[in-house]
Structures are given as structure tokens and as C-alpha cells.
Amino acid sequence: MPIRFGADYYPEYWPKERLSVDARLMREAGFNVVRIGEFAWKTFEPEEGRYDFAVFDEAIKVLRDHGIGVVLGTPTAAAPAWVEKKYPETNRVDRKGLRQHWGARQHSCYTNPKFRELSRNVVRAMAEHYADFPGVIGWQIDNELDLHHCYCEHCLKAFREWLQRRYGTPGALNAAWGMRFWGMEIGSFDEMLLPVTDYPSPSHVLDFYRFMSDEVVSYNREQVEIIKSFDSDIPITHNFMPGWGTVDYQALADTIDFVSEDIYPKDMTTFAHTDYQHALARGYNGGAGFWDMELQCGYITRRTLFPTPPPGQVRLWTHQAIAGGADGIVYFRWRSCLSGIEQFHSGIVNHDASPRTRAYREIKGIGAEIALFDRLGIAGSKVVSDAAILRGTEQKWAADTYRWASAYDYDEEVQRWYRGFFRASIGVDVIEPSVDFSRYKLVVAPLLHVVDGALVARLTEYVKSGGTLITSWRAGVYNPNAVVTAETLPGGLRHLFGVEIHDYDSLVELTPADPKPVVRFSAQTYSAGIWADCIECTTARPLADYTNSWYKPYAAITENRFGQGSAIYVGAAFPDEFYDNFVPALAKRCGVKPVLKTPIGVIGKLRVKDGRHFVFVLNYTTSPKTVVLRRPMRDVITGRKVRVRLRLPGRGVALLTEL
Ligand code: GLA
């Protein structure tokens, strides 16, 4: 199985005569796949019930003649103008009650029964036509599905029904949400509204997120089932936005065959964040083998134009994705479009379609390197990590429901820990807390503020059986309804961590006169930020205390030996230097080894197949770096043997394997 390599292609934008020229250029760059069709509803169904597949039939045939397979997108992210004209009620309504309109994309309500019916119709027609169609190697459902935040009458009705199924009676809902506050108890589900006010209850908002997510997942599943009913073996994916998207991606992943992600790193400074996104995609995918279905290949448009990636940057992003577990690389997009809001968003080739762009030449070079990887069978190899970070959608939602908490950003706290592993080249998986984590030697569950009995039991069992578990501040504060625990903090986790917390301080906004809490740990001093839990030990022992002001009597970091294992509580957020010291030291204690010993700015990542190691070494700085190897290895890209010292130029990449 080769690595899938190609671009997102929009044949419907260009004259027919261009097809074979594009296909030839793609082939010459080493492409074996393109994604097409995901916004072409109007082309596939020019008016309701009349289908026309000619443009795409031709494109798929020409591409196939050039050895390029097609991932076909269902086009439902861009409802055509006839939908608006006939069924304006299918458009989303915003929180202020304003209905959205046709004129761009992603304006339809996933809950609306008519929109569902129209989506099913076009998907069914396409699935029937393209079942076993030569050249179609997979499908992508819709595009970048996310919570739709629609406040229409259908969402209201469906939300009430969803609540009724969840709680049974209004009384049970009132109790679960704590609706005595401001006298908000409802007497019947008809009294429930969508959370449209400026100060909604966090419980109300959290359930609205869950409801929307369920709608998105069922919308996705509906399309998957239609396609599979015509072609049961065809692989189906969806393009996630890990780290940005707010839908329950694990639930979405469970409805498809493999996960894809869209990656726009923008600049060098986001290298660790991009790595985190790959780890998330890998986690949702249940391991390596996900695809980058859109990978940035040049300058991009958001609110403004972002700069053109310098030479070697796209290559580095590509190898970083493969190192993180990607088996498919698809660049966004083949050719810059002449019209539309993305007209100044780069393609691999520019508006004039000339292959003389730097991007085309660089990507052609990457294609040649990928051909080398294919000889080794990198696709299908695994990423094996002994450590995991638990990153929960429910945790993220709960953080977002609390209106005033915007500065304590859940994903940022998770990434403080991720960066500690990343910079030390220690492999780490990022998984949902619901996934089995018992096999890991080290588990970090940062900002674990939502807990229930089942999660506490699983964490307790993990530590009891010898695992090392870390959590950070604010642990155990919420139950799954975003209602605060009445127990002493950290609530249900008190016993496992052997601590009690009676005081804490929010450091998100500091008055200049206030001293920041300072922590002394391992002969270094760190200022705490964002939050400080004032920890009192019951059975735990302090690893670090606060050293100043009123924080002084309290512990900041504690460890509780529990059963065969250990439960560590880190009561505040710290600058990166803290995690650079803390994570590698703890990993070492747990027997979790780095892939390589790398200098700052270089990371090593490992993929494994049949016992054979593939070590990617990525220099994400602009200066040359040297890595000292433990044993001689071969660099697959240069073909050279590296005895001890591997020299990498700025933005350089090596793929090392056994001699
Ligand atoms: C998203 C979309 C693409 C395109 C790019 C532009 O990822 O999926 O269709 O709009 O952004 O960067």
C-alpha cells in the first residue's frame, strides 16, 4: 500500500481541455490521489431531482488514465441557490433569530428535516451512480463538519425531545441542572428554550453542545449508510479540524472508516501545535493511518493574507505529518481559483496553472521522497507511544460553557503538557478519556474538571495497577452536568490524589500590585500563572511548595503513592521551562524513553513496522543542527549511512532506519 499523495482538485472550475494537462502534471509530481466534488452540489444536481454527472465522470476517467484515484466528496456543505429559493427554512438561524442565507457555504441546518431529505437525495443519487465506479477509491462526507449553532424552530423542537429522552421528566432536568438558581425550573419540556440569552446556565449550554454534536454525527452517519448501501467496501472519511473543531470527533470517527484532518500551520511558530493536531487525529483514528486531506501548500487567506511558506517549509510540514502517523497527504489546493472569496488563496500551481511555481517544484521533490518511503512500506506502520495525554471533548465543552472562563483555555493547558513531550522527542498519544488508557506507563489528564464515578474508578484502577497519573489544577470541580461538586476539592479525585483544596486563586488577570505565586521545584523557580490551587496533603507528599505571599503554607505539586502506582497533582499552570524539566524527568522514572536525544528545535519521531524502526528527524528551526545517534543508521532520503552525527540544514528532514 503506497502513501496516498495528491491535491484537492476542482475540475468543475476549469475548461475540459485542462483536465489531461493537470492530470499529467500531477502524475509527474508523483500524485496517486485527488479529492474532488465536495462543493459541487449545483453541478451534480442543477435543479431538484435532475442529476448530471458528466463533469465528474470525465474528470474521474482522465485522472484514472493517469494513475490517479479519486476521493469523492459528498457536496452537501454548499447548498445551491435553488434550495434557498424553494426551502428557505433549511437555512440556519443565529442566536438573535436572524436567518442566514445562500451566498457562500455551510449555511444549512443539520437538524432541519427538509435539508436532511435533500442531502440524502443527492448523496443517494451519487452513491448509486458511483458505486464500483472505476477510479473512485473512497468518499469524504461533507466538509469540516462542526457544531452548527442553529437556533431555528426545528432545533428547538429536536432539543426538547433530546432533553426529554435524556432526563425523562422536567423535574429530573431541574434537579440535574440545578434550576433553582434564579428560579428557572421548568414545568414541562415545552417551556424549555435554546440557550439564546447572554447569561445561560452552563448546564444548559453543555447539553446544547451535546445535542448539536449528536445532530452532526447522525447527519454524517446518514450519508455513510447511504453510500455503504450501494458500495459496502468503499472506505469513507471525513476531514476533521483537530484542535479547532468542537464536535465530538471521537463519536464522528466511530461512524467512518478512517479519519482525515485539515492542516493550515500558517507559520513556523505553530510547529508544536501542528504536531498536537496530528496526535489528536491519530487518537481519533485509533492509531496511525489517518490522512491530511487538506495540507497547506502556500499562502492562505483567513482574515488577511498569510505569508508564503519559505523554501523547505511545505516539505517539513509534509514529513511532520507522516512522522505523526499520516498515510495520506493531500494538499489544498491544486490551482488557485480565479473567482470567489478564496481567489487569493494559493494553489500548488497559481492562477495561470504554470508548473513553474516553487510550490510545484518543491512538492514534486517531496513526491520523489515519498516514492522512497513507499519502497520501505511506511504506510501502514504504527506510531507506538508509552505515554498518553487525555484530551476530552466534554472537558473542552465544559470549559467553554463557563462564560467568564475564556482565558483559561482548556486546549492551551493540554498543550502545555504536550509541548513538554514534543520538545523532548518523547512519543505521546492524545486520546479521549473514554478510550482505554490502561496500557500506558504514564498518563497525563490536564485540567480534568469534569469527573463522574466511572472515570474516577478507571483512573483509580490505572494507578492501583502501577500506572503514573498526572492531573493539573481545577480537577474534579464539575459533575457531567457542569454543576459544581459539593464535596471538598478535588471532589471524587480527593482520595486518589491524597489532597484537599480549600483555597485557590485565579491568575488569569493580575492586578499589578499582586505578587504571582512562586514555586520552587528541583532547584528552579517558576511563576505560576492562570490558576493556583492551594493544596493540603492528606496522604500525598509535597513535591513543591509555594514560596511567597499567602500561598506560602500550601503545596503546589504533590504525589500520592497509591496501590502500585502514583498520582501526581500539579496545582498551577507554568511557563514552558517547567514542563521541559518535569516531563522528561518523570518519563524517565516511568521507563518512557525519548525517540532520540535532540537539540532544541529538532524533534525525533518514531514509526514502527514488523519490528523495523523508522525514525523521522525534523529540524524546525532555520539554522543547521546536529543530532548525535546512539548507533549508526541509514538516511533513507540521502541514501547515506550516518555513523554518529547527523547534520541537518535549517528546516532539514531525515528518515533514519536500520543499516
Ligand atoms: C478549509 C476548507 C477548504 C478551504 C480552506 C481554505 O479548510 O475545508 O474548503 O476553504 O479552508 O484555507
Tell me: pLDDT of 442 over 90: yes
Spacing, Cα 262 to ligand 1 middle (Å): 8
Q: Which numbered atom of ligand 1 lies nearest the CA of 302?
A: 12
The closest alpha carbon to 570, from 548, 553, 555, 549, belongs to 555
Q: Specify the 3-state DSSP secondary structure of 380.
A: coil
Tell me: pLDDT of 496 over 80: yes
Burial class (CB within 10 angstroms; exposed 0-12, middle 13-18, buried 19+) of 464: middle
- Is the Cβ atom of 333 under 6 angstroms away from ligand 1? no
By most ligand atoms within 8 Å of CB, the mutation choice from 241, 292, 332 for ligand 1 is 332
245: alpha, beta or left? (left if phi > 0; alpha if psi -120 to 50): beta
Tell me: pLDDT of 580 over 70: yes
Q: What mean pLDDT do residues 4-24 have?
A: 98
Q: What mean pLDDT do residues 137-143 have?
A: 98
Q: Specify the 3-state DSSP secondary structure of 11.
A: helix
Q: What is the pLDDT of residue 402?
A: 76
Q: What is the pLDDT of residue 624?
A: 97
pLDDT tens digits, residue range 85-97? 999 999 999 999 9
Beta strand 555-562 with 565-570 is antiparallel
Tell me: pLDDT of 156 over 70: yes
pLDDT tens digits, residue range 39-73? 999 999 999 999 999 999 999 999 999 999 999 99
The answer to whether residues 538 and 498 touch, using CB atoms and an 8 Å cutoff, is yes
pLDDT tens digits, residue range 362-411? 999 999 999 999 999 999 999 999 999 999 999 999 998 876 666 679 99
The answer to whether residues 70 and 34 touch, using CB atoms and an 8 Å cutoff, is yes
- DSSP β-bridge partners for residue 500: 536
Q: What mean pLDDT do residues 633-648 have?
A: 97
For residue 244, give Cα distances in angstroms to 144, 145, 258, 393: 10, 11, 19, 11
| Non-local CB neighbours of 42 within 8 Å, separated by 6+ positions | 78, 80, 81
Q: Specify the 3-state DSSP secondary structure of 608.
A: strand
Between CA 374 and CA 137 the distance in angstroms is 19
Please confirm, yes or no, whether 294 is among the known catalytic residues.
yes
Tell me: pLDDT of 112 over 80: yes
- Is the Cβ atom of 35 under 6 angstroms away from ligand 1? no
Q: What is the pLDDT of residue 405?
A: 60
Instruction: Count Cβ atoms below 10 Å from residue 124 Cβ, excluding itself.
Output: 15
- Is the Cβ atom of 261 under 6 angstroms away from ligand 1? no
Whether a cis peptide bond, with omega within 30° of 0, leads into 333 is yes
Spacing, Cα 193 to ligand 1 middle (Å): 33
Spacing, Cα 244 to ligand 1 middle (Å): 13
Copy the grid coordinates of residue 191: 417551556
pLDDT tens digits, residue range 207-224? 999 999 999 999 999 999
H/E segment holding residue 647: strand 645-648
- Is the Cβ atom of 294 under 6 angstroms away from ligand 1? yes
The answer to whether residues 344 and 300 touch, using CB atoms and an 8 Å cutoff, is no
The answer to whether residues 86 and 49 touch, using CB atoms and an 8 Å cutoff, is no
H/E segment holding residue 275: helix 271-285
Q: What is the pLDDT of residue 407?
A: 60
H/E segment holding residue 625: strand 625-628
Please confirm, yes or no, whether 362 is among the known catalytic residues.
no
- Three-class SS of 225-264: HHHHHHCCCCCEEEEECCCCCCCCHHHHHCCCCEEEEEEC
Q: What is the pLDDT of residue 514?
A: 75
More confident residue, 302 or 413: 413
- Torsion over CA: 300, 306, 310, 316 (sign): negative
Q: Which residue's entry shows cell 500531477? A: 26
Between CA 600 and CA 623 the distance in angstroms is 11
Tell me: pLDDT of 305 over 90: no
Q: Specify the 3-state DSSP secondary structure of 124.
A: helix
Copy the grid coordinates of residue 18: 485542462
- Is the Cβ atom of 240 under 6 angstroms away from ligand 1? no
Q: What mean pLDDT do residues 129-158 have?
A: 98
For residue 166, give Cα distances in angstroms to 161, 170, 172, 211, 248: 9, 10, 9, 10, 18
- What are the backbone dihedrals phi and psi of residue 641, each rounded to the nearest 5 degrees, phi first? -80, 135
Q: What is the CA radius of gyration of the chain?
A: 26
H/E segment holding residue 207: helix 202-230
- Is the Cβ atom of 133 under 6 angstroms away from ligand 1? no
Residue type, 520: R
Q: What is the pLDDT of residue 138?
A: 98
Tell me: pLDDT of 590 over 70: yes
pLDDT tens digits, residue range 394-403? 999 999 887 6
Instruction: Count Cβ atoms below 10 Å from residue 8 Cβ, excluding itself.
Output: 25
Tell me: pLDDT of 131 over 80: yes
- Is the Cβ atom of 264 under 6 angstroms away from ligand 1? yes
Burial class (CB within 10 angstroms; exposed 0-12, middle 13-18, buried 19+) of 230: middle
Q: Which residue's entry shows cell 505539586? A: 557
Tell me: pLDDT of 267 over 80: no
Q: What is the pLDDT of residue 253?
A: 98
Spacing, Cα 333 to ligand 1 middle (Å): 9
Tell me: pLDDT of 509 over 80: no
Q: What is the pLDDT of residue 374?
A: 98
For residue 130, give Cα distances in angstroms to 57, 126, 136, 138: 9, 6, 7, 10
pLDDT tens digits, residue range 517-575? 999 999 999 999 899 999 999 999 999 999 999 999 999 999 999 999 999 999 999 99
For ligand 1, atom 7: residue with the closest CA: 262
For ligand 1, atom 10: residue with the closest CA: 342
The closest alpha carbon to 492, from 531, 459, 518, belongs to 459
Q: What is the pLDDT of residue 403?
A: 65
The answer to whether residues 47 and 82 touch, using CB atoms and an 8 Å cutoff, is yes
319: alpha, beta or left? (left if phi > 0; alpha if psi -120 to 50): alpha
pLDDT tens digits, residue range 180-208? 999 999 999 999 999 999 999 999 999 99
Copy the grid coordinates of residue 450: 469534569
The closest alpha carbon to 421, from 442, 435, 438, belongs to 442
Tell me: pLDDT of 174 over 90: yes
Q: What is the pLDDT of residue 539?
A: 98
Indicate the average pLDDT of the chain: 96
Between CA 347 and CA 300 the distance in angstroms is 9
What percent of the chain lies above the pLDDT cut of 70? 99
Between CA 128 and CA 58 the distance in angstroms is 17
- Torsion over CA: 292, 608, 311, 19 (sign): negative
Which residue among the candidates 38, 45, 215, 294 is catalytic per the annotation? 294
Q: What is the pLDDT of residue 513?
A: 65
User: Considering the entire predicted model, what is its pTM?
Assistant: 0.98
